Amino acid sequence: MADDAARCLGLLALRAVVGGLFVAHGAQKLFGAFGGQGPAATGEVFEQVGLGPGPVTARAAGVAELGGGALLAAGLLTPVGAAATSGSMVGAIGAVHGAKGPWNADGGYEYNLVLIAAGLALTLTGPGCLSLDRLLGSERRGLRWAAAELAAAVGGGLGALAAGRARSGRAPEAEPSS
């Protein structure tokens, strides 16, 4: 019984932190909240890495992060929330972090990969007993759901990256300005 309670609380903590931070990260892009720059300034950064039109691409990333994060935090449609947030991270790795190697200290992708793994873990295990999916009887979890979530994340992230690059009409600059 104590193990069940610990599992429920552990999954709730993971969902609340990861989902909550994605909500805030999306709100930075969409509204300039939490010290963010909003869609216009974030769009300029997106343009610098070859993704355009910048404000449109920034809004799309913000919606994926805010909406996907909210789904994860609530434990509702967990594979969908994980796919949305992970897709955004796949795009970030492809656009900015991948060429810099794995280490975050060098601007690399380790943090993005940890967030992808968190979404994958939640899809594999399910969101836990303290979730809307469980309350509504709509919980989807396991290997097939995780494979679908990961395929959607990679496909969506790489597709968004390709579309943003095609719309920008130019190659990315070496380094975005802050």
Tell me the per-residue pLDDT of 84-116, one tens digit each, with 9 for 90 and over: 999 999 999 999 999 999 999 999 999 999 999
- Total count of domains within the chain: 1
Exposed, middle or buried: residue 6 (CB in 10 Å: 0-12, 13-18, 19+)? exposed
More confident residue, 114 or 2: 114
Residue 162 lies in a domain: yes
pLDDT tens digit string along 8-60? 999 999 999 999 999 999 999 999 999 999 999 999 999 999 999 999 999 99
Q: Which domain holds residue 113?
A: 2-168
Q: Per the domain annotation, does 176 fall within a domain?
A: no
Cα Rg of the chain, angstroms: 17
Determine if the pTM surpasses 0.85: yes
